[in-house]
């Protein structure tokens, strides 16, 4: 038995129907000298943005994705998938996505990357460890195998991992899948764009993650660039703004606050210095 429920199984439990689309693609998972690696594998065509690229700002691998490309609704996607071929990892090894940094946003009206509107978030539903899922079911039905401590962890996994302007919250890393007896795996998890109580802003959204697994060093960070409601031309412009841009990255919110605090301190110090001289 697998040690985790896949993202597809979780989506089914949440009554989100999954169907195929004209193309799909995967983050190709490999290893090199004890470190996890990321690559690109497309099925049935080229995805939006032209496929796998490199973010010129960070040098990280960049993957395209589009909300609304399957039956989960206009705010959902299950691309990219994650695939490791036979012999990639020892059987039973759990691979997870470690969310990093903060959510970035590109608006067609002001074509530049910045922080998203307040409240916007991209949510990833990863797998749930089988022991936690079973404990939750047993406790809900009054079963003898109910383990309250394990069952109490279920809501955290069920709510998914959220990427927002303030960082990453929820279970992190998010479980992708575990390798089968041949050392292979293939999973497509579910991503949603959200604005609590409202409608998300049309634009492109960027998340950063690294692959992690016990016994291996984490992969280099990689990024997924999501399209929400943009035309093909607008999305291509957002994609190109990362691939060809030489603009410095946006300071993370804590860094911005620290910079402002430093400016305020220097202002007060200068005023006191002038007073002392007088």
Same domain for 231 and 262? no
Same domain for 142 and 265? no
Q: Which residues of 71-102 are buried (b: 16+ CB within 10 A; e: fewer)?
A: ebeebbbbbbbbbbeeebbeeebbbbbbbbbb
Same domain for 259 and 242? no
Q: Look up residue 35 and give its two tokens.
A: 């470190």
Same domain for 158 and 277? no
Same domain for 146 and 272? no
8-state DSSP, 115? P
Q: Provide the residue-wise pLDDT of the chain in tens; the chain has 278 residues.
A: 345 544 333 333 322 222 334 456 899 999 999 999 999 887 765 544 455 789 999 999 999 999 998 767 899 999 999 999 999 999 999 999 999 999 999 999 988 899 999 999 999 999 999 999 999 999 998 878 899 999 999 999 999 999 999 999 999 999 999 999 999 999 999 999 999 989 999 999 999 999 999 999 999 999 999 999 999 999 999 999 999 865 545 554 554 444 444 444 333 334 444 444 44
Find where tokens 């293939």 sit.
186
Contact 185, 93 (CB under 8 A): no
Cα torsion 270, 274, 276, 278 to 10°: value is 180
The per-residue pLDDT for 51 is: 59
Q: Look up residue 26 and give its two tokens.
A: 């995967």
Same domain for 255 and 134? no
Same domain for 132 and 268? no
Measure the CA–CA gap between 162 and 119, rounded to whole angstroms.
11
**Could you please report the per-residue DSSP string of 241-263?**
HHHS--PPPPPPHHHHHHHHHHH
Q: Provide the number of structural domains found in the chain.
A: 2
Same domain for 261 and 239? no
Measure the CA–CA gap between 51 and 236, rounded to whole angstroms.
11
The per-residue pLDDT for 46 is: 55
The per-residue pLDDT for 19 is: 31
Measure the CA–CA gap between 158 and 162, rounded to whole angstroms.
12
Same domain for 87 and 171? yes
Residue 3: name the closest of 216, 181, 137 by CA.
Answer: 181
Same domain for 204 and 277? no
Name the residue range of residue 264's domain.
Answer: 251-278
Same domain for 30 and 103? yes
Same domain for 221 and 277? no
């Amino acid at each position: 038995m697998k040690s985790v429920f896949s993202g597809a199984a979780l989506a089914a439990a949440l009554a989100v129907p999954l169907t195929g689309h004209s193309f799909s693609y995967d983050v190709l998972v490999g290893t090199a000298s004890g470190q996890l690696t990321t690559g690109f594998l497309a099925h049935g065509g080229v995805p939006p943005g032209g496929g796998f690229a490199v973010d010129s700002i960070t040098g990280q691998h960049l993957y395209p994705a589009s909300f609304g490309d399957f039956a989960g609704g206009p705010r959902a996607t299950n691309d990219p998938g994650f695939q490791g071929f036979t012999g990639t990892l020892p059987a039973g090894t759990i691979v997870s996505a470690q969310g990093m940094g903060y959510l970035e946003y590109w608006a067609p009206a002001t074509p530049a990357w910045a922080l998203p509107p307040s409240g916007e978030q991209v949510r990833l539903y990863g797998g749930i460890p089988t022991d936690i899922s079973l404990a939750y079911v047993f406790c809900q039905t009054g079963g003898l195998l109910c383990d309250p401590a394990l069952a109490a962890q279920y809501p955290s996994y069920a709510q998914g991992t959220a990427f927002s302007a303030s960082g990453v919250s929820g279970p992190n890393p998010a479980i992708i899948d575990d390798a089968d007896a041949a050392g292979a795996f293939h999973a497509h998890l579910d991503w949603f764009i959200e604005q609590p109580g409202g409608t998300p802003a049309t634009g492109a959204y960027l998340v950063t993650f690294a692959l992690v697994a016990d016994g291996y060093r984490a992969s280099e960070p990689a990024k997924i660039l999501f399209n929400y409601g943009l035309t093909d031309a607008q999305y291509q412009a957002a994609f190109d703004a990362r691939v060809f841009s030489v603009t410095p990255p946006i300071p993370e919110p804590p860094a911005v606050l620290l910079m402002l605090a430093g400016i305020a301190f220097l202002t007060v110090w200068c005023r006191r210095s002038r007073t002392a001289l007088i």
